[in-house]
């Protein structure tokens, strides 16, 4: 198979973890006889400094023409954000426009921790039980992140306003993806809401309820978002299956899930439009400026995103399974990245590049 992949390495740890993602993809190409061509394109804060815009026109063209887009995290340390005018900062001027351009409404964020890796988690091992296997689905192009914003000059800072809108079409197309994913797993779907306060949540619940009739094999449970935040910390395995989250709840609770796993570096993601097939793949975390340039970031999030791309954009199920198996085997042999290390005698701490080498090695040996 021949595929062209746009590569947006981004900021902070982006280039370091992207290098390992491509290393693993090269191993897959060698092993299975595929040809992947990488087309680098500027995106994020560095693109703003180099080209005057965080999502330059040339990058849009490269992404439009590619079979899939791999993206590293973007953004500067919060203390440095004043180097970029608000309207040019990477989230509003690059990340959200990328999502809107391809209408990637379905964001897949797997939260996976086998029992054998329970020690990664700050929770006691009995809370991890037989392991975590949750697919957090985040609606990615609607809600408060995309609604009208009023601030600054217009209000002379007397007030600010963020509008949250959800149309029936936005909720329904997302709900069908969630039900279908639940059907392919253990049949459990938890829909998260704040219907005691928010109109958009009441609408969300109404549509999930009516769609559930078409999926009698899926058990739909609805839960208030504040309770979900609590339950995730005390009894996360009850969510094994699929969780459906709106844009903002998904942003926040998937970071909490990263904390429960023991590191945001264990959080890959896929952002897809299932109608057009357009998609891009990114770690669920940010650019981690606190550890950038030190070769200590965990590249699992980028490598896992590669596995998702192989499966979802290229239909290469075996190749995707090879990547997941290699990741699991590296941990099973006691290898850790720095942030997962507990300084026990048996563990072996790897740098970012050594971790990528090990995963590629496992793929070639399998
Ligand atoms: P962050 O997600 O970058 O980092 C939070 C913590 O997690 C840090 O301690 C960091 O070191 C750690 N971490 C994250 N990824 C890791 C990895 N792969 N391996 C090991 N540790 C890892 O959050 P932040 O510091 O609040 O944000 C930094 C920048 O990223 C900001 O500019 C923010 O706006 C941006 N951001 C971008 C995206 C995106 O591109 N999709 C998402 C979230 C935040």
What CATH number is associated with residue 352?
3.40.718.10
> Considering 216, 242, 270, which residue would you say is the last residue of a domain?
270
Is the domain of 202 the same as that of 334?
Answer: no
Indicate which atom in ligand 1 lies nearest the CA of residue 283. 41
Q: Is the pLDDT of residue 95 over 90?
A: yes
Angstrom distance (rounded) from CA 41 to CA 60: 9
- Tell me how far the alpha carbon of residue 310 lies from the centroid of ligand 1, in angstroms: 24
- Least confident range from 128-137, 152-161, 212-221: namely 152-161
Indicate which atom in ligand 1 lies nearest the CA of residue 81. 32
Q: Which residues contact 84 (CB under 8 A, 6 or more apart)?
A: 45, 48, 54, 76, 90
pLDDT band at 13 (very low <50, low <70, confident <90, very high): very high
Ligand 1 shell residues, CB under 6 Å:
13, 17, 73-76, 91, 95, 263-265, 282, 285-291, 297-298, 301, 339
Angstrom distance (rounded) from CA 10 to CA 90: 10
Is the domain of 188 the same as that of 234?
Answer: yes
pLDDT band at 344 (very low <50, low <70, confident <90, very high): confident
Is the domain of 228 the same as that of 286?
Answer: no
- The answer to whether 175 and 198 have CB atoms below 8 angstroms apart is no
Alpha carbon nearest to ligand 1 atom 31, residue: 75
Is the domain of 262 the same as that of 116?
Answer: yes
- Tell me how far the alpha carbon of residue 174 lies from the centroid of ligand 1, in angstroms: 26
Residue 134: inside a domain, yes or no? yes
Number of domains in the chain: 2
Alpha carbon nearest to ligand 1 atom 17, residue: 265
Helix ranges (H only) for 213-334 are: 225-234, 247-261, 300-312, 317-332
Is the domain of 120 the same as that of 265?
Answer: yes
Is the domain of 196 the same as that of 116?
Answer: yes
Q: Is the pLDDT of residue 316 over 80?
A: yes
pLDDT score for 354: 98
Which of 88, 285, 291, 300 has most ligand 1 atoms within 8 Å of CB, for mutation? 285
Alpha carbon nearest to ligand 1 atom 18, residue: 265
Residue 360: inside a domain, yes or no? yes
Q: State pTM to two decimals.
A: 0.97
pLDDT band at 343 (very low <50, low <70, confident <90, very high): confident
Which of 13, 14, 20, 73 has most ligand 1 atoms within 8 Å of CB, for mutation? 73
Indicate which atom in ligand 1 lies nearest the CA of residue 72. 40
Alpha carbon nearest to ligand 1 atom 37, residue: 286
Task: Give the model confidence (pLDDT) of 224-264 as tens digits.
Answer: 999 999 999 999 999 999 999 999 999 999 999 999 999 99
> Considering 238, 270, 302, which residue would you say is the last residue of a domain?
270
Q: How large is the average pLDDT for residues 82-94?
A: 94
- Tell me how far the alpha carbon of residue 284 lies from the centroid of ligand 1, in angstroms: 8
* Rounded (5°) CA angle 330-344-23: 25
- Tell me how far the alpha carbon of residue 96 lies from the centroid of ligand 1, in angstroms: 17
Q: How large is the average pLDDT for residues 158-183?
A: 97
Q: Is the pLDDT of residue 112 over 80?
A: yes
Q: Is the pLDDT of residue 292 over 80?
A: yes
Q: Catalytic amino acids? A: 145, 194, 226, 251, 255
End-to-end CA distance of the chain: 20
Is the domain of 305 the same as that of 261?
Answer: no
Is the domain of 294 the same as that of 260?
Answer: no
- Tell me how far the alpha carbon of residue 218 lies from the centroid of ligand 1, in angstroms: 34
Sign of the dihedral through C-alpha 197, 198, 199, 204: negative
Could you list the residue range(s) of the whole structural domain that residue 228 is in?
111-139+167-270
- Tell me how far the alpha carbon of residue 264 lies from the centroid of ligand 1, in angstroms: 8
pLDDT score for 78: 86
Q: What share of the chain is helix, strand, coil (3-state, %, to 5)?
A: 50, 20, 30
pLDDT band at 346 (very low <50, low <70, confident <90, very high): confident
Indicate which atom in ligand 1 lies nearest the CA of residue 44. 40
Indicate which atom in ligand 1 lies nearest the CA of residue 10. 40
Q: Is the pLDDT of residue 153 over 80?
A: no
């Amino acid at each position: 198979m021949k595929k062209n992949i746009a590569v947006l390495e981004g900021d902070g740890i982006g280039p370091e973890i992207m290098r390992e993602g491509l290393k693993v993809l090269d191993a897959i190409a060698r092993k299975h006889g595929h040809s992947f061509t990488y087309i680098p394109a500027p995106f994020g804060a560095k693109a703003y400094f180099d080209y005057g815009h965080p999502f330059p026109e040339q990058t849009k063209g490269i992404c439009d023409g590619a079979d899939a887009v791999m993206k590293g995290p973007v953004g500067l340390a919060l203390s440095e954000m004043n180097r970029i005018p608000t309207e040019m900062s990477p989230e509003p001027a690059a990340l959200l426009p990328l999502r809107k351009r391809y209408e990637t409404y379905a964001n897949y964020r797997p939260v996976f921790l086998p029992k054998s890796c329970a020690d990664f988690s700050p929770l006691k091992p009995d809370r991890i039980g037989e392991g975590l296997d949750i697919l957090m689905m985040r609606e990615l192009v609607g809600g408060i992140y995309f609604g009208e914003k009023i601030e600054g000059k217009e209000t002379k800072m007397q007030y600010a306003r963020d509008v949250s809108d959800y149309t029936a079409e936005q909720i329904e197309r997302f709900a069908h993806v969630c039900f279908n994913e639940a059907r392919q797993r253990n049949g459990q779907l938890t829909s998260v809401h704040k219907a005691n306060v928010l109109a958009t949540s009441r609408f969300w619940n109404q549509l999930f309820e009516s769609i559930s009739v078409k999926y009698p094999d899926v058990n739909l449970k609805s839960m208030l978002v504040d309770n979900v935040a609590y339950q995730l910390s005390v009894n996360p395995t009850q969510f094994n299956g699929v969780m459906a989250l709106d844009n903002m709840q998904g942003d926040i609770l998937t970071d909490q899930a990263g904390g429960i796993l023991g590191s945001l570096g264990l959080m890959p993601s896929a952002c897809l439009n299932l109608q057009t097939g357009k998609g891009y793949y990114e770690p669920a975390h940010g650019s981690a400026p606190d550890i950038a340039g030190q070769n200590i970031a965990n590249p699992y999030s980028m490598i896992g995103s590669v596995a998702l791309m192989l499966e979802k954009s290229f239909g290469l199920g075996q190749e995707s399974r090879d990547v997941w198996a290699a990741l699991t085997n590296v941990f099973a042999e006691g290898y850790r990245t720095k942030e997962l290390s507990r300084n026990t005698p048996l563990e072996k701490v790897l740098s970012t590049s050594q971790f990528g080498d090990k995963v590629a090695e496992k793929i070639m040996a399998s």
